[in-house]
Amino acid sequence: MAIKITFFAHATTFDNELGICSGQADAKISNLGKERIKKLRKLTSSMNFYVVYCSDLSRSRETAEGVFRDRLEIKIDPRLRELNTGSFTGKPDKLVDAEMLNHINSPFPGGESLEDVKSRTVSFLSDLKKHHNSQIAIVAHMFNQISFEVILNKKSWKQALDDDWRKTDAWQPGWEYIIE
């Protein structure tokens, strides 16, 4: 009855390279991001996913289409949107990171809290149960993945934030999760 999820972070954007928080604003895929899409397409060519879900933000859609087009159905789900950082959107990542633990339950001004993203993610994961015994690909954002760590790997928000791969630039071609 288990569902295997492979989570793919959207490709690198110009904002990522500049250390700017995009939040739910559109951000363009950079040249490095385009190269990673090509690499990921090759690396996933032999993987047997049932379906791909992605955020409705353009950076996730472009990544999903670049990697999985012509092979799999891609379903867009707005619950996989990035954290709405409100008035912190467009500010340096370091400033946003320094504020993060203050916004576990309390929304960013004009935005949402980490618990809001977690609630969207719980709803999304609940709907995946219809795909029992399937392997599913997800292309989404940082705070979706950190929510997966909190929900599926039972980490605290602090631990999930501290352990985040982005702090060491340890990108990899997918992270695996299981829903029992």
Q: Where exactly are the structural domains of the chain? A: 3-179
Which superfamily does CATH assign the domain made up of 3-179 to? Phosphoglycerate mutase-like (3.40.50.1240)
pTM of the predicted structure, to 2 decimals: 0.94
Kindly give the confidence (pLDDT) of every residue in the chain, 180 residues in length, as a single tens digit, with 9 standing for 90 and above.
699 999 999 999 999 999 999 999 999 999 999 999 999 999 999 999 999 999 999 999 999 999 999 999 999 999 999 999 999 999 999 999 999 999 999 999 999 999 999 999 999 999 998 888 899 999 999 999 999 999 999 999 999 999 998 888 787 789 999 998
CB-based contacts of 131: which residues, under 8 Å, 6+ apart?
Answer: 3, 50, 51
Comparing CA positions, the residue from 90, 91, 39 lying closest to residue 66 is 39
The pLDDT value recorded for residue 166 is 82
